Amino acid sequence: MKTLKNWELHQHTARFVDLKVDGNHLFCIYVLEEDLFRILIKRKGELQLDRTWSIAPQGSDVPWEGRPRESSSGFNLPRFILEQVGNKLRFSTSKLRMTVHQPLWLEWEYLDEKGKWQPLASDSTTHGYRLNPHGDGVEHHQRRYPNDSYYGLGEKSGDLNRTGRRFEMRNLDAMGYNAASTDPLYKHIPFTITRRNGVSFGLFYDNLSITRLDLGNELDNYHLPYRRYHAEAGDLDYYLFLGPRILDVTKKFVRLTGKTLFGPKWSLGYSGSSMQYTDAPDAALQLMKFIELCREHDIPCDSFQLSSGYTSINNKRYVFNWNYDKIPQPQAVSQAFHHLGLKLAANIKPCLLRDHPKYQEVAAKKLFIRDSESDKPEISSFWGDEGSHLDFTNPATVKWWQDNITAQLLKMGIDATWNDNNEYEVWDGEARCFGFGKEIAVKHIRPVMALLMMRASMDAQTNFAPNKRPYLISRSGCAGMQRYVQTWSGDNHTSWQTLRYNIRMGLGMSLSGLYNVGHDVGGFAGEKPDIELFVRWVQNGVMHPRFTIHSWNDDHTVNEPWMYPSVTPAIRDAIVLRYRLLPYLYTLMWQASQDDEPMLRPTFLDHEHDPMTFAETDDFMLGRDLLVASVVEQGQRRRDVYLPLNTFGWYDFYSGSWISGGQTITVDAPLERLPLLVRAGAMLPLSGRTSHVDPSADDRRDMLLFPPLGKGQDRGLLFEDDGESNNWQKGSALWLQWDITCDNQRIDVYFSSKGNYRPAWQCLNVRLPENERRALYINGVQQLSWTLP
């Protein structure tokens, strides 16, 4: 690695400025927004990869073949001031100022509320940028300050605050991982949020090769404290943007990499699954038994995820191959699930084992990634054997994939795809990909393959059912995957430790733009959960956007809601609570897709003014209004909860008692109940339906109002539509807004609505805490209910 040092101004355009460094390399500076700059280094004036699949500003998707890396389309490209200050260059907008020093290092400042420039970030003054002039490898070193805190990086183990640790982005099938320490895992998101002295900035490296980020673990006496980014191949291409709040950084990252997919309402219901069902020789009977047991135990359920056993030949998996011995009539199974209102998602994998019935056909069509030294398919380890990975940068592969999804799944009655085992562990880095006509070594784009796989699956589903919003799941991926799928934290290990740290993993993904997330409830690998752990895991799981009980237990048991009869009522109560909260969850999912609002939120996200919220905690917010205090310790029946300091305080969800914020309280946590607190000023919409999602039968809305004490004002929103079409984009939805005004004598709620959709419910029933004595006025009339006009 050689440190880049001496530079001279090479080119100045309205879009960017080029510096020539050491007479050899181009250092490109883009001012994309008032608060967003980009740095791109061209080694010897050339790009290693001339495309990107992660950058998707303005809500538009990326072309299949990738977005030209040098493109600035979709950005506002504001005018900026460029000044020569001695031997320095200074770039200024109304929000950010960047100074280029000689020798090469960058210094960033932001304009505070008083109109003064304040320090924001700085490269290392001694080794800011390094690259290998004769091969692969790039590095970026930024100064690290004692009061820096780092968040983000997507799905990572351990604490939410990443400071002092070293991480690697190298997507792996990390089955049974330790949620406190295992690294790397399944996803590639080299994005950090740095918070310092009340200001935050985002830093995203658009490079999909194997990457390492050191956030304070490494020390070198020859340099001031630094953080280090290293990519094994590709270009140094990064985006730096101002918050100033952490929430602002997260939302801007989503706007940079793509809007969140708005899925169907049923995707928020309980989704059953287990490896054991489809691995069983009588898989069809096991699946039908699941339906019957849901009905017998009165467990609401909306979907079932078919694990890959339905494709098996002996003990191996063969994508798009139905095992008709296990499931003789797939369409009849689908019809049985549909008859009871349940959807089916089928597991699919992007690697064909060498004895796959379709392997020779696919190889002859050259649809696989190719070996680096021959024209043969690459061969990699996969599911206890060896196989070849499909090349989704080949349009013929995309068509083959979509044709098989349509014929083998969708026409069989399958409703959704579960894109699994798509880490693309192809370790021959020079293996060749078609690259849409311009060959690319796989080392540059491993995670892109997962991204294109899920996009191909989504397009197949959309083409088959154009009037329905698609629902997809993917385990692996990179920044931008939120445009296509819901995801989860992979094949976790059954333990109390996993339950605790999966919460942090989910929040880390949410801070990194992956809002629609969850975990394998009960644990996937290892021993089955004991009674108490299972109850607590379900209670936690129902408060995540994705709620799936999934397992592959060592003793071949199955994690099911009724697995422990003594606590089945507690499991049912937790799932019923989720279904009652579906109007709230559904509104959050709509706001995530439209307003880029995270669904899962660390407590500090809305309470940065309260330093206590930055302590590591097992608590989190579901939306802005609901504080979830999951129990993650064995035997705990009371637990401490810190209530963030806010304007109006908090309410206990169950008792309705008011509690002031800015303090730690102790709440009861009996085994059958999940501690929940509600932000004062909030109103939670509840459904009266506790069966599978059916908007036409969802005919009751209760509004739990938690009013401010004394004087106060607040507002909220409820979104309703048919739950599965895109007709809401044409106005066929209900946007119900409310404004709350309180004083010591009365509570006024004013409802207003827009949109031409009329839900099955016609009347809102407003409920106040039991000890509330003030009069309630709705739209000026003293009453407890309100009818849609």
pLDDT at 56 over 90: yes
Domain count, the chain: 4
Assess if residue 580 is contained within a domain.
no
Assess if residue 507 is contained within a domain.
no
Is the same domain home to 696 and 634?
A: no
CA distances from 22 to 5, 25, 679 (A): 6, 7, 57
Assess if residue 395 is contained within a domain.
yes
Contact 471, 503 (CB under 8 A): no
Is the same domain home to 313 and 237?
A: no
Structure tokens at 265: 């309402």
Q: pLDDT grade, residue 134 (50/70/90)?
A: confident
Q: What is the pLDDT of residues 382-430, one digit of tens each?
A: 998 999 999 999 999 999 999 999 999 999 999 999 999 999 999 999 9
What is the model's pLDDT at position 295?
A: 96
Q: pLDDT grade, residue 576 (50/70/90)?
A: very high
Is the same domain home to 415 and 458?
A: yes
Q: pLDDT grade, residue 758 (50/70/90)?
A: very high
Q: What is the pLDDT of residues 434-491, one digit of tens each?
A: 999 999 999 999 999 999 999 999 999 999 999 999 999 999 999 999 999 999 999 9
What is the model's pLDDT at position 133?
A: 82
Contact 395, 436 (CB under 8 A): yes
Alpha helices by DSSP H, listed for 378-483, are: 395-404, 446-464
CA distances from 108 to 4, 5, 93, 122, 239 (A): 19, 18, 12, 6, 13
Q: What are phi and psi of 754, to 5 degrees?
A: -145, 165
Contact 229, 207 (CB under 8 A): no
Question: Which CATH number does the domain housing residue 76 bear?
Answer: 2.60.40.1760
Assess if residue 531 is contained within a domain.
no
Which DSSP category does 608 fall into? T
Q: What are phi and psi of 5, to 5 degrees?
A: -130, -75
What is the model's pLDDT at position 58?
A: 84
Is the same domain home to 370 and 266?
A: yes
**Domain limit, last residue, from 486, 511, 543:** 486
Beta strands in 680-774 (DSSP E): 683-687, 701-705, 712-720, 734-742, 746-754, 763-767
Q: What is the pLDDT of residues 265-289, one digit of tens each?
A: 999 999 999 999 999 999 999 999 9
Q: What percent of the chain has pLDDT over 90?
A: 98
Q: pLDDT grade, residue 550 (50/70/90)?
A: very high
Question: Residues, the chain, total?
Answer: 789
Structure tokens at 109: 């400042």
Q: Over range 693-717, report the average pLDDT.
A: 97
**Angle, vertex CA 612, rays to CA 606 and CA 617, nearest 5:** 85
Distance CA 92, CA 416 (A): 48
Range of the domain at 613: 600-679
Assess if residue 512 is contained within a domain.
no
What is the model's pLDDT at position 564?
A: 98
Question: Which CATH number does the domain housing residue 638 bear?
Answer: 2.60.40.1180
Q: Specify burial of residue 43 (Cβ count, 10 A radius: 0-12, 13-18, 19+).
A: buried
What is the model's pLDDT at position 59?
A: 83
What string of DSSP letters covers 629-642?
Answer: E---STT-SEEEEE
Structure tokens at 116: 């003064």
Is the same domain home to 635 and 724?
A: no
Q: What percent of the chain has pLDDT over 70?
A: 100
Q: What is the pLDDT of residues 18-40, one digit of tens each?
A: 999 999 999 999 999 999 999 99
Assess if residue 523 is contained within a domain.
no
Is the same domain home to 238 and 337?
A: no
Beta strands in 585-647 (DSSP E): 600-601, 619-622, 626-629, 638-643
pLDDT at 60 over 90: no
pTM: 0.97
**Domain limit, last residue, from 428, 451, 486:** 486
CA distances from 36 to 87, 94, 130 (A): 24, 11, 23
pLDDT at 197 over 90: no
Is the same domain home to 271 and 393?
A: yes
Assess if residue 552 is contained within a domain.
no
Q: Over range 602-620, report the average pLDDT.
A: 98
pLDDT at 571 over 90: yes
Beta strands in 206-274 (DSSP E): 211-214, 226-231, 237-242, 271-273
**Domain limit, last residue, from 679, 695, 711:** 679
Looking at the DSSP assignment, which residues form a beta bridge with residue 622? 600, 626
Is the same domain home to 154 and 271?
A: no
Is the same domain home to 267 and 215?
A: no
Which of 357, 274, 362 has its CA nearest to residue 316?
Answer: 357
Question: Which CATH number does the domain housing residue 761 bear?
Answer: 2.60.40
Tell me, rounded to whole angstroms, the distance of Cα 137 from its chain centroid. 29
What is the model's pLDDT at position 759?
A: 98
Assess if residue 570 is contained within a domain.
no
Can you tell me whether residue 550 is helix, strand or coil?
coil
Is the same domain home to 662 and 722?
A: no
**Strand pairing of 105-111 and 486-488?**
unpaired
Distance CA 551, CA 420 (A): 15
Is the same domain home to 157 and 39?
A: yes
pLDDT at 689 over 90: yes
Is the same domain home to 278 and 385?
A: yes
What is the model's pLDDT at position 54?
A: 98
Beta strands in 95-145 (DSSP E): 96-101, 105-111, 117-122, 129-131, 138-143
> Tokens 């914020």 — which residue?
661
Q: Over range 174-182, report the average pLDDT.
A: 98
Q: Over range 564-576, report the average pLDDT.
A: 98
The pLDDT mean for the chain works out to 97
What is the model's pLDDT at position 14?
A: 83
Q: What is the pLDDT of residues 230-242, one digit of tens each?
A: 999 999 999 999 9
